[in-house]
Amino acid sequence: MLGIGERHELPTILLIDDDLVSREVIATVLTLHGHLVHTAEDGNEALQMLKQSVVTPGVVLLDTQLPGLSGRELIEELRMLGLDEIILISGSTPSDELVDVADGFLLKPFGPEDLAKLLGQHKPKIDQESNGGSEEMVVNPTTLAQFRQLMTEGTVREIYAAVVSDLHKRQEALEQAIGAGDSDEVRRIGHAIKGGCGMAGAMQAARIGALLESKSDQLDNCAAALKELYTATQRVERMLEKEFPA
Protein backbone atom coordinates (compact mmCIF):
# COMPACT_ATOMS: atom_id res chain seq x y z
CA MET A 1 0.00 0.00 0.00
CA LEU A 2 1.26 3.45 -0.93
CA GLY A 3 -0.12 6.66 0.55
CA ILE A 4 2.56 9.33 0.73
CA GLY A 5 0.96 12.75 0.61
CA GLU A 6 -2.52 11.26 0.46
CA ARG A 7 -5.28 13.74 -0.43
CA HIS A 8 -8.55 12.57 1.10
CA GLU A 9 -10.73 14.14 -1.59
CA LEU A 10 -9.21 11.75 -4.15
CA PRO A 11 -10.54 8.19 -4.45
CA THR A 12 -8.62 5.26 -3.04
CA ILE A 13 -7.36 3.03 -5.86
CA LEU A 14 -6.98 -0.73 -6.13
CA LEU A 15 -4.50 -1.44 -8.94
CA ILE A 16 -4.61 -5.00 -10.33
CA ASP A 17 -1.66 -5.68 -12.66
CA ASP A 18 0.59 -8.72 -12.91
CA ASP A 19 3.51 -6.81 -14.45
CA LEU A 20 5.80 -5.67 -11.64
CA VAL A 21 7.25 -2.68 -13.47
CA SER A 22 3.88 -1.37 -14.62
CA ARG A 23 2.40 -1.92 -11.18
CA GLU A 24 5.16 -0.09 -9.36
CA VAL A 25 5.38 2.82 -11.82
CA ILE A 26 1.61 3.41 -11.91
CA ALA A 27 1.29 3.11 -8.14
CA THR A 28 4.17 5.50 -7.55
CA VAL A 29 2.91 8.13 -10.01
CA LEU A 30 -0.63 8.06 -8.61
CA THR A 31 0.64 8.11 -5.03
CA LEU A 32 2.77 11.18 -5.71
CA HIS A 33 -0.36 12.80 -7.14
CA GLY A 34 -2.16 12.22 -3.83
CA HIS A 35 -4.02 8.93 -4.24
CA LEU A 36 -3.94 6.13 -1.68
CA VAL A 37 -3.01 3.09 -3.79
CA HIS A 38 -3.30 -0.63 -2.98
CA THR A 39 -1.93 -3.19 -5.42
CA ALA A 40 -2.67 -6.80 -6.34
CA GLU A 41 -0.84 -9.08 -8.78
CA ASP A 42 -3.91 -10.94 -10.00
CA GLY A 43 -7.67 -11.22 -9.70
CA ASN A 44 -7.71 -13.79 -6.91
CA GLU A 45 -5.43 -11.69 -4.72
CA ALA A 46 -7.60 -8.63 -5.36
CA LEU A 47 -10.80 -10.47 -4.43
CA GLN A 48 -9.20 -11.78 -1.25
CA MET A 49 -8.15 -8.25 -0.25
CA LEU A 50 -11.68 -6.96 -0.87
CA LYS A 51 -13.41 -9.79 1.00
CA GLN A 52 -11.08 -9.32 3.97
CA SER A 53 -11.72 -5.55 3.92
CA VAL A 54 -8.03 -4.82 3.44
CA VAL A 55 -9.09 -2.07 1.04
CA THR A 56 -12.31 -0.22 0.22
CA PRO A 57 -11.46 1.33 -3.15
CA GLY A 58 -13.29 4.11 -4.90
CA VAL A 59 -11.70 3.04 -8.20
CA VAL A 60 -10.31 -0.23 -9.54
CA LEU A 61 -7.64 -0.06 -12.24
CA LEU A 62 -7.72 -3.44 -13.95
CA ASP A 63 -5.13 -4.73 -16.41
CA THR A 64 -6.86 -6.55 -19.25
CA GLN A 65 -4.33 -9.41 -19.61
CA LEU A 66 -4.04 -11.06 -16.22
CA PRO A 67 -3.19 -14.71 -15.59
CA GLY A 68 -6.00 -16.83 -14.12
CA LEU A 69 -9.24 -15.06 -13.21
CA SER A 70 -9.51 -12.03 -15.48
CA GLY A 71 -11.61 -10.10 -18.00
CA ARG A 72 -15.38 -10.17 -17.84
CA GLU A 73 -15.46 -12.93 -15.23
CA LEU A 74 -13.31 -10.90 -12.84
CA ILE A 75 -15.35 -7.75 -13.47
CA GLU A 76 -18.52 -9.65 -12.58
CA GLU A 77 -16.93 -10.79 -9.32
CA LEU A 78 -15.92 -7.21 -8.53
CA ARG A 79 -19.47 -5.98 -9.26
CA MET A 80 -20.85 -8.56 -6.84
CA LEU A 81 -18.68 -6.96 -4.16
CA GLY A 82 -20.17 -3.54 -4.89
CA LEU A 83 -17.41 -2.01 -7.04
CA ASP A 84 -18.97 0.58 -9.33
CA GLU A 85 -15.91 2.28 -10.87
CA ILE A 86 -13.80 -0.24 -12.79
CA ILE A 87 -11.31 1.22 -15.28
CA LEU A 88 -9.50 -1.03 -17.74
CA ILE A 89 -5.79 -0.40 -18.35
CA SER A 90 -3.71 -1.92 -21.13
CA GLY A 91 -0.96 -1.30 -23.67
CA SER A 92 -3.42 -2.22 -26.43
CA THR A 93 -7.12 -1.64 -27.03
CA PRO A 94 -9.28 -4.34 -25.39
CA SER A 95 -12.28 -5.99 -27.03
CA ASP A 96 -15.56 -4.11 -27.28
CA GLU A 97 -17.18 -6.82 -25.15
CA LEU A 98 -14.79 -6.10 -22.28
CA VAL A 99 -15.05 -2.32 -22.63
CA ASP A 100 -18.85 -2.58 -22.48
CA VAL A 101 -18.84 -4.14 -19.01
CA ALA A 102 -16.27 -1.73 -17.55
CA ASP A 103 -16.56 1.98 -16.73
CA GLY A 104 -13.73 3.25 -18.91
CA PHE A 105 -10.38 2.48 -20.49
CA LEU A 106 -6.91 4.01 -20.18
CA LEU A 107 -4.16 3.21 -22.66
CA LYS A 108 -0.74 2.68 -21.06
CA PRO A 109 1.21 4.82 -20.42
CA PHE A 110 -1.18 7.21 -18.71
CA GLY A 111 -0.87 9.84 -16.01
CA PRO A 112 -3.00 11.05 -13.09
CA GLU A 113 -4.50 13.78 -15.28
CA ASP A 114 -5.80 11.13 -17.69
CA LEU A 115 -7.39 9.25 -14.80
CA ALA A 116 -8.95 12.40 -13.36
CA LYS A 117 -10.39 13.33 -16.76
CA LEU A 118 -11.89 9.88 -17.21
CA LEU A 119 -13.43 9.77 -13.76
CA GLY A 120 -15.07 13.13 -14.36
CA GLN A 121 -17.74 13.47 -11.71
CA HIS A 122 -16.55 10.52 -9.66
CA LYS A 123 -17.36 10.92 -5.97
CA PRO A 124 -15.04 9.31 -3.40
CA LYS A 125 -16.44 6.66 -1.08
CA ILE A 126 -17.00 7.81 2.50
CA ASP A 127 -17.76 6.10 5.78
CA GLN A 128 -21.23 4.63 6.04
CA GLU A 129 -21.77 5.20 9.77
CA SER A 130 -24.86 7.33 9.17
CA ASN A 131 -26.49 4.41 7.37
CA GLY A 132 -26.10 1.70 10.00
CA GLY A 133 -22.39 0.88 9.94
CA SER A 134 -21.77 -1.91 7.45
CA GLU A 135 -25.23 -1.52 5.86
CA GLU A 136 -25.05 -0.40 2.27
CA MET A 137 -25.37 3.30 1.58
CA VAL A 138 -28.76 4.39 0.21
CA VAL A 139 -27.68 7.83 -1.01
CA ASN A 140 -24.13 9.14 -0.97
CA PRO A 141 -24.24 11.97 1.59
CA THR A 142 -21.49 13.83 -0.27
CA THR A 143 -23.63 13.93 -3.42
CA LEU A 144 -26.69 14.99 -1.40
CA ALA A 145 -24.74 17.77 0.30
CA GLN A 146 -23.44 19.04 -3.04
CA PHE A 147 -26.97 19.08 -4.46
CA ARG A 148 -28.14 21.09 -1.48
CA GLN A 149 -25.38 23.62 -2.00
CA LEU A 150 -26.30 24.11 -5.65
CA MET A 151 -30.11 23.86 -5.57
CA THR A 152 -33.14 24.61 -3.46
CA GLU A 153 -34.57 21.91 -1.19
CA GLY A 154 -37.57 21.65 -3.49
CA THR A 155 -35.42 21.02 -6.53
CA VAL A 156 -33.35 18.36 -4.75
CA ARG A 157 -36.56 16.69 -3.63
CA GLU A 158 -37.78 16.65 -7.22
CA ILE A 159 -34.56 14.91 -8.30
CA TYR A 160 -34.98 12.04 -5.85
CA ALA A 161 -38.72 11.83 -6.47
CA ALA A 162 -37.86 11.40 -10.16
CA VAL A 163 -35.34 8.68 -9.23
CA VAL A 164 -38.02 6.78 -7.31
CA SER A 165 -40.56 7.16 -10.12
CA ASP A 166 -38.05 5.99 -12.71
CA LEU A 167 -37.06 2.98 -10.61
CA HIS A 168 -40.69 1.86 -10.38
CA LYS A 169 -40.99 2.07 -14.17
CA ARG A 170 -37.70 0.22 -14.66
CA GLN A 171 -38.88 -2.55 -12.33
CA GLU A 172 -41.99 -3.13 -14.43
CA ALA A 173 -39.90 -3.20 -17.61
CA LEU A 174 -37.42 -5.60 -16.01
CA GLU A 175 -40.21 -7.97 -14.96
CA GLN A 176 -41.37 -8.12 -18.56
CA ALA A 177 -37.86 -8.50 -19.99
CA ILE A 178 -36.87 -11.25 -17.56
CA GLY A 179 -40.17 -13.05 -18.15
CA ALA A 180 -39.59 -12.89 -21.90
CA GLY A 181 -35.97 -13.99 -21.59
CA ASP A 182 -34.82 -10.77 -23.28
CA SER A 183 -31.24 -10.43 -21.98
CA ASP A 184 -30.47 -7.48 -24.26
CA GLU A 185 -33.31 -5.48 -22.74
CA VAL A 186 -32.24 -6.46 -19.23
CA ARG A 187 -28.72 -5.23 -20.03
CA ARG A 188 -30.05 -1.95 -21.43
CA ILE A 189 -32.25 -1.30 -18.40
CA GLY A 190 -29.46 -2.21 -15.99
CA HIS A 191 -27.11 0.19 -17.75
CA ALA A 192 -29.70 2.99 -17.50
CA ILE A 193 -30.24 2.35 -13.78
CA LYS A 194 -26.50 2.29 -13.13
CA GLY A 195 -25.98 5.59 -14.92
CA GLY A 196 -28.98 7.53 -13.63
CA CYS A 197 -28.80 6.38 -10.03
CA GLY A 198 -25.04 6.77 -10.03
CA MET A 199 -25.35 10.43 -11.02
CA ALA A 200 -27.93 10.96 -8.24
CA GLY A 201 -25.75 9.19 -5.69
CA ALA A 202 -28.30 6.38 -5.15
CA MET A 203 -25.52 3.91 -4.43
CA GLN A 204 -27.43 0.70 -3.76
CA ALA A 205 -29.69 1.05 -6.78
CA ALA A 206 -26.70 1.95 -9.00
CA ARG A 207 -24.84 -1.18 -7.86
CA ILE A 208 -27.85 -3.36 -8.64
CA GLY A 209 -28.14 -1.73 -12.06
CA ALA A 210 -24.50 -2.60 -12.74
CA LEU A 211 -25.16 -6.16 -11.63
CA LEU A 212 -28.15 -6.46 -13.97
CA GLU A 213 -26.06 -5.08 -16.82
CA SER A 214 -23.14 -7.45 -16.28
CA LYS A 215 -25.25 -10.57 -15.61
CA SER A 216 -28.04 -9.99 -18.11
CA ASP A 217 -27.43 -13.42 -19.64
CA GLN A 218 -28.03 -15.11 -16.27
CA LEU A 219 -31.77 -14.56 -15.84
CA ASP A 220 -32.03 -16.40 -12.52
CA ASN A 221 -29.49 -14.01 -11.03
CA CYS A 222 -31.32 -11.08 -12.64
CA ALA A 223 -34.59 -12.16 -11.00
CA ALA A 224 -32.85 -12.16 -7.62
CA ALA A 225 -31.35 -8.75 -8.37
CA LEU A 226 -34.80 -7.44 -9.26
CA LYS A 227 -36.06 -8.38 -5.79
CA GLU A 228 -33.09 -6.52 -4.32
CA LEU A 229 -33.98 -3.54 -6.49
CA TYR A 230 -37.45 -3.43 -4.92
CA THR A 231 -35.81 -3.07 -1.50
CA ALA A 232 -33.38 -0.42 -2.76
CA THR A 233 -36.27 1.61 -4.18
CA GLN A 234 -38.14 1.44 -0.88
CA ARG A 235 -35.04 2.69 0.94
CA VAL A 236 -34.73 5.67 -1.41
CA GLU A 237 -38.41 6.41 -0.81
CA ARG A 238 -37.89 6.35 2.96
CA MET A 239 -34.88 8.64 2.61
CA LEU A 240 -37.01 11.02 0.55
CA GLU A 241 -39.75 11.10 3.17
CA LYS A 242 -37.24 11.64 5.98
CA GLU A 243 -35.02 14.25 4.35
CA PHE A 244 -37.69 16.08 2.35
CA PRO A 245 -41.09 15.72 4.05
CA ALA A 246 -43.92 16.94 1.81
| Tens-place pLDDT, residues 171-181 | 999 999 999 99
**Structurally, how many domains does the chain consist of?**
2
Q: Which of the pair, 117 or 133, is modelled with greater confidence?
A: 117
Tens digit of pLDDT for each residue in 95-128? 888 988 898 899 988 888 888 888 754 443 333 3
- Residues 134, 239 within the same domain: yes
Nearest alpha-carbon partner for 147 in 234, 246, 240, 8: 240
Q: What is the CATH number of the domain that holds 192?
A: 1.20.120.160
- Residues 97, 19 within the same domain: yes
- The domain in which residue 200 lies consists of 129-243
Last residue of a domain, one of 68, 101, 119: 119
pLDDT of residue 190: 93
Distance CA(16)–CA(66), nearest Å, equals 8
- Residues 155, 239 within the same domain: yes
pLDDT of residue 42: 95
Nearest alpha-carbon partner for 41 in 23, 58, 28: 23
- Residues 105, 162 within the same domain: no
pLDDT at 65 over 80: yes
Mean pLDDT along residues 35-43: 93
pLDDT of residue 74: 93
Q: Which of the pair, 115 or 205, is modelled with greater confidence?
A: 205
Tell me the H-state helices in 20-152: 20-32, 43-51, 71-80, 96-101, 112-119, 141-150
pLDDT band of 244, cuts 50, 70, 90: confident
Q: Which of the pair, 1 or 193, is modelled with greater confidence?
A: 193
pLDDT of residue 9: 61
Mean pLDDT along residues 175-193: 93
Q: What is the CATH number of the domain that holds 113?
A: 3.40.50.2300
Last residue of a domain, one of 119, 146, 180: 119
The answer to the question of residue 2 being in a domain is no
pLDDT of residue 127: 35
